[in-house]
Amino acid sequence: MQTGAIAGRARSSAAGLYVTFYYLGGSAGATLTGLFWRWQGWPGCVALFGGVSLVSLWLARISSRSSDQLDSTEIELVGD
């Protein structure tokens, strides 16, 4: 698991935070889908899914770098 490798000595805290946000995100997704279903039915859910997909693509785009910009010497693991 990459989270544990990056966390170094704080692996249990990192795993706990990961699981917490995993389930919070799932709960928020289920709640929002239910609200959109009651508001607009199936078209509302499709709009929500489309919006979340676009936000995800945008976040991936702004947070990624091309392979020529990556330098493995920049990566420092905690505890090394």
Average pLDDT, stretch 12-40?
A: 93
Task: Identify the band that residue 9 occupies on the pLDDT scale cut at 50, 70 and 90.
Answer: confident
Prediction pTM value: 0.60
pLDDT one-digit tens code per residue, 27-57 = 999 999 999 999 999 999 999 999 999 999 9
Average pLDDT, stretch 7-17?
A: 83
Average pLDDT, the chain: 83
The CA-based dihedral angle spanning residues 42, 55, 72, 1, taken in that order and rounded to the nearest 10 degrees: -40
Per-residue pLDDT at 13: 87
Expressed in percent and rounded to 5, the helix, strand and coil fractions of the chain are 85, 0, 15
